[in-house]
Amino acid sequence: MGEEVRVIEKEPIEPGQIVVVGLPDVGLVGLIATQYLIRKLNLREVAYMHSDLLPPIAVLHGGLPHSPVRIFGDKGLLVIFSETAVPADAVAPLSRAIVDWCRSKEAKLIISLSGIPVPNRQDIDKPSVFGAASLPETLEILRKHNVGVLESGIMVGPYALILRYCAEHKMPALVLTAQCFFAYPDPEASAAILAKLAEILGIEIDTEELLRRGEEIRLRARDVMRRTQRELARMRKTQEYDIPLYV
């Protein structure tokens, strides 16, 4: 089971780093944010993930093949992202592999970036960021940075599992979610989440370019969004709208 997804390191990776995860989800918030982060911080590819559960594709960059799920890093930061929609069947093994690998690398903190769909997104100029944590002490990071805590409800998808698996192993992890469109790519939400990530990490991330190129990014993200939506439907993602039952 553990071998369904393998991480192949291209160079030695120092332990004790912070890991940021951006997998395709509602609004493609995490994927857009991590791609922008990698470019802005000039991170290099240090590892990639291999699995027969992923679609049989090679992502071409500069005419050369790459895995769709890769790990970039530098300066004490590792960024995991997937350029293609993660099939619903691969979500659990992939999430488990990410957590196991982070555990083997003694990750200082795992921060997953995602979106939380809101029906009135068009009326919101600056999306708010909410969060959840794997441990009570990690929750304090959210409170310290004025991130609204998702006190109750249901999370669906890889971030939900990453958070649960991290809790099982007592690993510090956060999920940051920005208000976003459910069915459309949302670079504004990605900018909002990057601003909060920068605050938590204490680094500078200029999101001006992301906002300026928002329309172009939305057009380019169209097909990944479409495929992601199909997988989200298979994961019953709409459960996130459900009212939690507490008696």
Judged by the rule CB under 8 A, the positions of this chain that interact with other proteins are 121-122, 181-185, 214-216, 218-220, 222-223, 225-226
Nearer of residues 168 and 223 to other proteins, judged by Cβ: 223
| CB of residue 177 to other proteins, shortest distance in Å | 19
- Report the DSSP pairing between strands 18-22 and 173-180: unpaired
Dihedral, CA of residue 163, residue 164, residue 166 and residue 172, to nearest 10: 50
| CB of residue 4 to other proteins, shortest distance in Å | 21
| CB of residue 220 to other proteins, shortest distance in Å | 6
Nearer of residues 196 and 218 to other proteins, judged by Cβ: 218
- Report how far residue 238's alpha carbon sits from residue 240's, in angstroms, rounded to the nearest whole number: 5
End-to-end CA distance of the chain: 37
| CB of residue 222 to other proteins, shortest distance in Å | 6
Nearer of residues 73 and 185 to other proteins, judged by Cβ: 185
Nearer of residues 18 and 38 to other proteins, judged by Cβ: 38
| CB of residue 218 to other proteins, shortest distance in Å | 4
Nearer of residues 114 and 228 to other proteins, judged by Cβ: 228
Nearer of residues 29 and 225 to other proteins, judged by Cβ: 225
- Report how far residue 104's alpha carbon sits from residue 171's, in angstroms, rounded to the nearest whole number: 11
At a CB cut-off of 8 Å and minimum separation 6, what does 193 contact? 29, 30, 33, 113, 129, 176, 177, 178
Phi, psi of 140, deg, nearest 5: -60, -30
- The pair of three-digit structure tokens given for residue 197, joined into one six-digit string: 């990530």
- The pair of three-digit structure tokens given for residue 183, joined into one six-digit string: 């069915």
| CB of residue 231 to other proteins, shortest distance in Å | 11
Q: For residues 107 and 138, is the Cβ–Cβ distance under 8 A?
A: no
